[in-house]
Each structure stands twice: as C-alpha cells, then as structure tokens.
C-alpha cells in the first residue's frame, strides 16, 4: 500500500478566518511521485471541475514537470481580459514548466540549487511593458500574494500506479521562456550556515527554504532592480507550516507547484 499526503495552501486572514485556496495530494508511485492539485481538499479526481493540475517527478526526485489543466492560449486570452479561468470537465494536462534540481556530486555543504523553466511565460514578461499569459486570479477565491502552506499527513488507500497518459503539449512559440533561479545566499560565519533575507517571513532553518529570481543576461535588457526582485520565496515557520510569497509573472498555481517540489526526497541533491 502506498501512502498519500495532503498539503493545503491557505490564505491566512488577520481575523483568524483562514481560507483554503489550493490543496495537493502527494502520491508515491513505484517510479515517480505525483502531486495532484485541486481547489478542494476532499476531491482530487482529474475529471472534477475542481481539478487544477499536477506535478510529477522523475525517479530520482531531481526533475519535475508541472501540468496545467488550462492551455497557454486560454491563459493568454484571460490575461487580455477576454475570459476567466476555464476549467475542463475532463482531464486535460498541458506541460507548462520544468523544475530541475542540481545534483550534489561532491557532497559539498550548501542549500539546494534549482531552476524553473517556465515554458508558458516569456522572458519579455519581466522587461519593461511586458505581459505574461498567466491567470489573473483563482476561481471562486481571492488569491493574495502572501499565504501559508500547511502540510497535513493522512494515510489513504493505495491508488492505481499505472502511468498517466498526457496529451501532446502545445507550447507557445515564444522566442525564449523565463527561467527562475535561486537567489544566491551568503555564508554567516557566526551561525555557520547559509542565509537569505526573508524579511521576517521565514523563522525556521530548513533545506526547503528558497528564494527565486529571474535568470537574465545583458541581452535581455532587464533592469538591475528587476533582476534582484524575488518572484517566489518559500520557507518554514513551524512544524509542517510554511509561508509562500509570490508575485508577477507567475500564478498561484505555478508558485504552489514549485514549492511542492521541495517536499519530495532528493538524496542526490544533499
């Protein structure tokens, strides 16, 4: 029997009335790990209207693919204000991003290194006047840029472990997709550890903590301030509780999927 785990992406309100935005069920299979992402925490069927997408790893847990149930064309149309988030009534997955963790061959000390190739977002989105074809908001909810991820462990019955069959991916013909990379940490001599400035949003040291910025070169003509801007940060604040802060040009779903990848075991990266 394979165990499954449920993680919840919660908008923490000041009045204590926290709101569930997204939920993910982690399923360990013989050759990979999958995270199925839904708008509710009690229905992860891909045929459901609450199904958003999924995250799938390779055998080593060093490479992940994000599958969205919304095509890039739909997202592009929504970013222009022509339609809202359209949910498919049947399972339909589009490969929209690839997350890669660097192998730590020499077993050197240091944080995990990763990069995220956002196939559906052009590098021009971080240039002046650029736009990104990402959903403006989640359906039936108000997504803010500051929320908490709560990981709840629940054993559930085994599922069919046969590989899912995904349709062919239609990738927009952008000249170059945006790639996110780790913001370089600094070594703290007194604490004897690698440190990043989370501005009080992260309070517990963890190998899962990270900050991502856009990877650019001089030919991209991106301002220095934009190069330093943290697009996604994730960090631990308590037992099974993490904070996730994201901003343009990625969506809540994309940010959530990237953060979920850090929960899979990666013996070759540490």
SS3 readout for 138-206: CCCCCCCCEEEEEEECCCCCCCCCCCCCCCCCCCCCCCCEEEEEECCCEEECCCCEEECCCCCCCCECC
**In residues, how long is the chain?**
270
Q: Closest Cα partner for 132 from 145, 118, 142?
A: 118
The average confidence (pLDDT) of the chain is 75
Say how far apart CA 259 and CA 252 lie, in whole Å. 11
With beta carbons less than 8 A apart as the criterion, state whether 260 and 242 touch.
no
Position 89 scores a pLDDT of 40
* pLDDT tens figures, 213-251: 999 988 888 988 999 999 999 999 998 899 999 999 999
Position 230 scores a pLDDT of 96
Say how far apart CA 215 and CA 246 lie, in whole Å. 16
Position 61 scores a pLDDT of 84
With beta carbons less than 8 A apart as the criterion, state whether 233 and 142 touch.
no
Q: For 119-141, what is the mean pLDDT?
A: 74
The larger pLDDT score, comparing residue 107 to residue 144, is at 107
**Number of Cβ atoms within 10 Å of the Cβ of 171:** 13
Whether the full predicted model's pTM is greater than 0.85, yes or no, is no
Domain annotation for the chain: domains and CATH numbers: 4-157+170-269 (3.20.90.10)
Check whether 209 has a pLDDT greater than 60. Answer: yes
Position 196 scores a pLDDT of 85
Q: For 136-144, what is the mean pLDDT?
A: 46
């Amino acid at each position: 029997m394979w165990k499954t785990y449920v993680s919840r992406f919660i908008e923490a309100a000041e009045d204590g009335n926290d709101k569930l935005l997204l939920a993910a069920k982690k399923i360990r299979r013989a050759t990979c790990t999958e995270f199925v992402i839904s708008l509710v925490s009690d229905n992860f069927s891909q045929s459901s209207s609450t199904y958003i997408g999924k995250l799938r790893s390779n055998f080593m847990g060093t490479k992940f693919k994000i599958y969205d149930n919304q095509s890039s064309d739909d997202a592009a149309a929504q970013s222009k204000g022509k339609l809202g988030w359209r949910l498919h009534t049947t399972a339909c997955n589009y490969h929209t991003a690839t997350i890669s963790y660097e192998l730590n061959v020499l077993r050197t000390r240091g944080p995990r290194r990763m990069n995220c190739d956002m196939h559906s977002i052009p590098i021009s989105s971080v240039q002046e006047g650029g736009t990104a074809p990402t959903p403006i908001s989640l359906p039936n909810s108000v997504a803010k840029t500051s929320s908490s991820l709560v990981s709840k462990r629940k054993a559930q019955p085994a599922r069919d472990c046969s590989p899912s069959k995904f349709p062919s991916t239609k990738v927009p013909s952008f000249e170059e997709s945006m790639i996110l990379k780790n913001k370089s940490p600094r070594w703290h001599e007194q604490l004897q550890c690698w440190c990043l400035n989370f501005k009080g949003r992260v309070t517990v040291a963890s190998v899962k903590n990270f900050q991502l910025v856009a990877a650019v070169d001089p030919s991209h003509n991106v301002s220095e301030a934009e190069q330093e801007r943290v697009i996604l940060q994730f960090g631990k604040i308590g037992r099974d509780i993490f904070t996730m802060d994201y901003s343009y040009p990625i969506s809540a779903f994309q940010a959530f999927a990237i953060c979920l990848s850090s929960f899979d075991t990666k013996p070759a990266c540490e």
